[in-house]
Structure 1
Amino acid sequence: MCKSKGEKEESESMFEKLKKVMKHEMEAAKKQAEKNVSTIELDYIGGHPKITKKSVKIRKGVQPNEIVIINGINEMKATLLEYQWGEQGVRSVGKAATGAIIGGVLTGGLGAIAGAAIGAKKKDKSILHLAVEQNGQTYHMQLRADQKKYNEFAKKILG
C-alpha cells in the first residue's frame, strides 16, 4: 500500500511533533532528577590531598555507604567509613571585656554584666569529621558544620 505525498508529509509532521514532545518531556524529567539529588555544601578545613577548594559539596552515592565529593568541577566517589560531629563554641574574651566596659560606662554595674554577656556571644566552630576510603587509601576529612548543617548532612547523606 502506497501513501500519497500528502499522507507522507502529514505522518512526517506528526513524527516531528512527537519527537519535540518527547525531547521536551525528557528535558523536564532530567531537570526534576537534578533537583531531587540532595547535596550539602560545607566549608572544607583539611584532610584530603585532592581537595583544593574552600568548600565542598557532598551527595549520597548509588552504592551503600558511597558518597560523592564535589570539589569545584571534579567529582570523587568515596566510601564513607565513619563520621563524627563535635560541637565546639568559642567565646571571645576581648569582646566580652569590651562589652562589659561599654555597658558599665553607659548604665552602671548591671550594664557591665549585660554588656559582657552580649560581647561574649558564642561563635560556633563545630566540626564534622569524615573518614573516607578512596582507591584503597583512607582520608580523615574535617568540615565546618554547625548543628543545622550536621542535621542536614544526617538527613541527606545518612538518611
Structure 2
Amino acid sequence: MDAPSRDELFQLLSNQRRREVLRYFSTHSENVELRVLADWVAAQEYDTPIDQLTEKQRQRVYISLYQTHIPTLVDHECIDYNQSTGFVRRTDRMDDLDRYLKLESLTRSDTDIINPTFGWLPSVPRQYTAPLIMSGCSVLLLGWFSIVSPLVLLTISWIGLFSFLVLCHGW
C-alpha cells in the first residue's frame, strides 16, 4: 500500500469524527464493536464520560459513523469493517496516518508546548486582569516610595486607591 496522498490526507482529516476514529485506532490495536467506538467518539466530542452520554448523543454519532465516516475510512483502507459482526479493526495503513494525528493533537490539546503558560499562577478572569496589574504596580510603587519619602507615600497611596476604584468599579 502506498502512503496516502495529500488530497487523501486532507479528506480523511477534514472531519473531527473521522479524526477521533483514527485517534482511537492510533492507541488501540484490538478490534472494537462499532457501537463501542461510537460511544468513545461521542464522549470525546461532547467532552463527557461515556456513562453520562445521552441516548441522543450516542445515536447521533453512531449514525454519522455508520453512514458516512466508517465507509470513507474503509474506502481509504484505513480500517476494516465487518458488517455482519459489527466489528471495526485497524489496518496497516493507519501507520502512515499516526504521525499526522500526533501533529493534529499537538495543535489541539498540547498548546502549552506551543504557547507556554505560567501554570503556577492562579487563573484569573480577563475582566480582573487590568485592576490586578494596576494594584500590583501600585504596591510596587508604594514600596519604593516608602523608602524614599513617607510624605510621597501618603500621596501615592491615595492616587493608587483612587485608580483601583476607577478600574474596578468603572467610576
> TM-score, normalising length from structure 2?
0.26
Instruction: Pick the structure with more helix per residue.
Output: 2
Instruction: Pick the structure with more strand per residue.
Output: 1
> TM-score, normalising length from structure 1?
0.27
